[in-house]
Amino acid sequence: MEPSWYLILAALLFSIGAVGLLIRRNPLVMFMCIELMLNAANLTFVALAIKLGDINGQTAVFFVMVVAAAEVVVGLSIIVSILRRKPGATADDLAELKG
């Protein structure tokens, strides 16, 4: 398959993530949309690495996935703890984290 198909798929996934991030107010759904956008960027890196015949794009994907895994651990625990306290919390209610 041509790498352009992967780039089109990545653009579609990124657009879905961006629209979901802008429209939805649930913090958990917003978090999932951010992860979808990161995966779309990873797909772009891999497709361009294959097209250019260079391994640097795949190396960048490895580091992005490591950072995303750390983000999931910290971010998801914060969001779940807030949603346990207030089950119907929206993104606007997360202002209580200011301290």
- Which residues 6+ apart lie within 8 Å of 26 measured at CB? 90, 91
The pTM of the full predicted model, rounded to 2 decimals, is 0.84
Whether 20 contacts 33, CB under 8 Å: yes
* CB-neighbour burial class of residue 44 (10 A; exposed 0-12, middle 13-18, buried 19+): buried
Query: Is residue 29 over pLDDT 70?
Result: yes
Per-residue pLDDT tens digits for 33-90: 999 999 999 999 999 999 999 999 899 999 999 998 998 899 889 888 888 888 888 8
User: Cβ(61)–Cβ(38) under 8 Å?
Assistant: no
d(C-alpha 28, C-alpha 45), whole Å:
26
